[in-house]
Amino acid sequence: MMKYIIIVHVFVMVGTLLPIPYGSFFLPLIYWLTKRKNKNNDCFNIQARNVLNFQLLFSLLGTIYLIFFWRYFVAMKIKGLDDVNYTFLWFFIAFAIIVNILYPIFIIIKMAVEHKPKIYYPNIIHFF
């Protein structure tokens, strides 16, 4: 059971690094859909749902943020201004790296040390 949960977190990291839109959501989703059938995996199902809910919400909010940034970028270029402020874009990229790569690494290490899974992702909106 622990290895299934760890693999979900690994798929979040791999999906982030692949050039696939919403990869950090779709890879864990595919894995969860193949492994959720077993009735003994209640803890895995809860963990995977929390990861999927969080990743989908984070991806949707990130997409909305990037749309607004793109609108700002285009508006600045139409006005003929080359002084586009990229600071907020770099903050978003740094935050996305922390959430999608460093945080799953932290979770995997913490579960390996404690030898028990806990729910580490906030479950704000229930999609699954």
Indicate the residue type of 8.
V
- Structure-token pair, residue 72: 């700002």
Q: Select from 60, 43, 38 the least CA-distant residue to 6.
A: 43
- Structure-token pair, residue 29: 């989703």
Tens digit of each residue's pLDDT, the chain (128 residues): 788 899 999 999 999 999 888 999 999 999 999 988 876 778 888 899 999 999 999 999 999 998 988 898 888 888 887 777 788 888 988 988 898 999 999 999 999 899 888 888 887 888 88
